[in-house]
């Protein structure tokens, strides 16, 4: 059955039944545990259609097992542990009701996302176009479940800060595409974005840089306006709670030991002061791989233990079992020149600077494990040896992920060659600020997270995949939208939908279904890249936050 759903469900069908009509008397009944989806349906569909969607009364608690006692004209939310945990079954039309049954509360919520798509683009608006008008959903019988348990997007707010409301909006966009992990890149050389009460200078100093390079590394264009911002601890708690209501886990990232100039600018003692004047450092105002790394001292370890204590309090284990510590692009020249770093290598009998980084990673792996959390880092943490329980984000192609999985480590596949959404979407001259590989919508759609040749045992360690959004050239929300969409929709299908047999996805069918999805994105106010090219979307002044006549030279 053709319903133009994205991501495509595992199985769809109908038996010729009539569809279901939402009207002012439609009610919702919910099993215990599904009340969050009930509230979400009322706040989204109710607002979009101007309908009360009142509680149905019966069909809850004691009567949840009897399909007939909730009456007609009802949306019924049910739990059935026989289904896969995030799986669901959606039926419409039988006895004039809609029933969403999930293997868990998350499964019910993902079924509600499908119901919203079936109701058309009007269901994605915040207020009704025609208040109170009946809204029909076609007859459907959908059985669905995700391919991977980790379906994520990483958002870098360190290079360009996004206000809290923009972050909440992206959580809604992830949920609409059945993505369930939000990797929150909170610290880097160019900014520290999370309030740490015991170390206030991290945000007082580290969250602001004096200026920003406009474009990529070769650019000589500068925005002389100071740039910055941070999230208070209450902001973080709100973001985490908002994500949890949408069954999205938040993975905070605190970069250690590289990508740390903002922290060193705030607290110079964290740097290698025996080889560089750390007191003269400011928050970095350009892009690239920075030479300033953390000093491998006991006081640095204690400092970041204090940081992580507050991070663990803000990101509870139930919703944030993984803590990302970065570990990527750690230049080691300062350690080679530092007598203090060399003394540490000798003290612990380490072979070289790679093992010194591994010693730091192992320290925090032990520290996090003792507190019931799991460490995850970029694939450079494999260098010098990896702690047994650590997981890997494989970004430098497949190789690191394959090595980690074959060694028994869990892996999230996010190779830059395929799913770095800051990379250009076309090779033409009109693409704004083009960087990286050309990766079209079709390229992302054909990405396969499980590398060929991986052993069956190792394949079980592929937790899933995520798309990464680095924001060096994304200075505002509209610019992020342009890079992320529509490619995130293609990625969502890769992460959720079963791999066809033979293993080749039908891009022509996906492209056809996207023709129905673009109006949904329009209703959500997403400034996506137009499928016909960049110019149709750029005709609106200011969408990209700069003159829209193509990129400046040499960027």
Residues with catalytic annotation? 188, 259, 329
**Distance from C-alpha of 342 to C-alpha of 162, rounded to nearest angstrom:** 40
Torsions phi, psi of 302, nearest 5? Answer: -65, -40
Torsions phi, psi of 193, nearest 5? Answer: -110, 5
How many other CB atoms sit within 10 Å of the CB of residue 385?
Answer: 15
**Distance from C-alpha of 324 to C-alpha of 332, rounded to nearest angstrom:** 21
Q: DSSP alpha helices (H): ranges in 180-268?
A: 201-204, 233-245, 261-266
Which residues are within 8 A (CB) of 459 and not within 5 positions of it... i.e. 6 or more apart? 405, 450
What residue has token string 């497949």? 398
Q: DSSP alpha helices (H): ranges in 97-232?
A: 105-118, 164-176, 201-204
Q: What is the 3-state secondary structure (H, E, C) of 416-457?
A: HHHHECCCCCCCCCCCCCCCCCCCCHHHHHCCCCCCCCCCHH
What residue has token string 């707010």? 157
DSSP H or E run through 416: helix 416-419
Token couple for 547? 């003159």
Token couple for 181? 């992990």
Torsion of CA 444, 445, 449, 450, to 10 degrees: -140
Q: Which of 420, 442, 446 is nearest to 499 (CA)?
A: 446
Give me the sign of the Cα torsion angle 331, 337, 341, 346.
Answer: positive
Report the chain's terminal Cα–Cα distance, integer Å. 47
Q: DSSP alpha helices (H): ranges in 497-527?
A: 507-523
Give me the sign of the Cα torsion angle 363, 367, 372, 376.
Answer: negative
Q: Bridge partners of 357?
A: none
Among left, alpha and beta (phi > 0; psi -120 to 50; other), residue 61 is left
DSSP H or E run through 467: strand 462-469
What residue has token string 């003290």? 347
**Distance from C-alpha of 207 to C-alpha of 227, rounded to nearest angstrom:** 8
CB of 227 closer than 8 Å to CB of 209: yes
Strand 208-209 with 227-228, pairing: antiparallel
In degrees, rounded to 5, the angle at the alpha carbon of residue 500 between the alpha carbons of residues 498 and 506 is 110
């Amino acid at each position: 059955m053709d319903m133009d759903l994205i991501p495509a469900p595992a199985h769809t069908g109908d038996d010729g039944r009539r569809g279901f009509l939402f009207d002012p008397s439609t009610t919702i009944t919910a099993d215990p545990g599904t009340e969050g989806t009930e509230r979400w349906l009322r706040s989204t569909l109710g607002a979009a259609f101007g309908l009360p969607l009142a509680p149905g009364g019966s069909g809850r608690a004691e009567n949840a097992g009897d399909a007939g006692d909730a009456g007609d004209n009802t949306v019924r939310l049910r739990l059935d542990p026989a289904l896969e945990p995030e799986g669901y079954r959606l039926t419409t039309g039988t006895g004039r009701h809609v029933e969403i049954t999930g293997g868990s509360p998350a499964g019910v919520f993902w079924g509600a996302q499908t119901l919203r798509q079936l109701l058309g683009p009007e269901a994605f608006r915040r207020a009704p176009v025609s208040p109170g008008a009946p809204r029909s959903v076609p007859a459907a019988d959908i059985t669905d479940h995700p391919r991977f348990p980790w379906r994520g997007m990483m958002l870098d707010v360190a290079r360009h800060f996004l206000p809290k409301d923009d972050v909440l909006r992206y959580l809604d966009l992830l949920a609409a595409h059945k993505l369930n992990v939000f990797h929150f890149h909170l610290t880097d050389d160019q900014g520290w974005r999370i309030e740490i009460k015991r170390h206030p200078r991290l945000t007082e100093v580290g969250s602001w840089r004096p200026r920003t390079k406009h474009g990529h590394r070769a650019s000589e264009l500068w925005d002389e306006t100071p740039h910055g911002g941070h999230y208070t601890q209450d902001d973080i708690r709100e973001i985490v709670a908002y994500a949890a209501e949408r069954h999205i886990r938040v993975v905070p990232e605190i970069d250690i030991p590289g990508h740390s100039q903002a922290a060193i600018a705030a607290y110079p003692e964290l740097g290698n002061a025996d080889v560089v004047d750390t007191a003269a450092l400011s928050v970095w105002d350009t892009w690239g791989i920075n030479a300033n790394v953390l000093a491998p001292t006991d006081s640095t370890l204690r400092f970041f233990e204090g940081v992580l204590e507050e991070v663990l309090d803000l990101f509870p284990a139930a919703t944030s079992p993984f803590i990302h510590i970065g570990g990527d692009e750690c230049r080691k020249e300062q350690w080679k020149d530092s007598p203090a770093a060399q003394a540490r290598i000798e003290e612990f009998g380490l072979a070289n600077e790679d093992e010194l980084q591994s010693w730091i990673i192992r320290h925090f792996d032990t520290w996090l494990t003792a507190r019931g959390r799991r460490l995850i880092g970029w694939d450079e943490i494999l260098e010098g040896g990896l702690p047994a329980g650590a997981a890997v984000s494989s970004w430098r192609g497949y190789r690191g992920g394959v090595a980690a999985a074959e060694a028994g480590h869990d892996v999230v596949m996010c190779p830059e060659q395929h799913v770095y959404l800051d990379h250009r979407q076309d090779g033409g001259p009109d693409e704004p600020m083009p960087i990286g590989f050309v990766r079209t919508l079709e390229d992302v759609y054909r990405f396969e997270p499980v590398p060929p040749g991986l052993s069956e045992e190792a394949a079980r360690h592929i937790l899933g995949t995520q798309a990464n959004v680095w924001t060096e050239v994304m200075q505002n929300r509209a610019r992020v939208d342009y890079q992320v969409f529509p490619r995130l929709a293609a990625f969502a299908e890769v992460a959720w939908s079963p791999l066809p047999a033979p293993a080749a996805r039908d891009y022509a069918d996906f492209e056809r279904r996207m023709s129905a999805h673009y109006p949904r994105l329009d209703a959500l106010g997403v400034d996506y890249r137009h499928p016909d090219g960049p110019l149709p979307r750029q005709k609106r002044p200011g969408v990209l936050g700069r003159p829209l006549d193509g990129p400046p030279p040499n960027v």
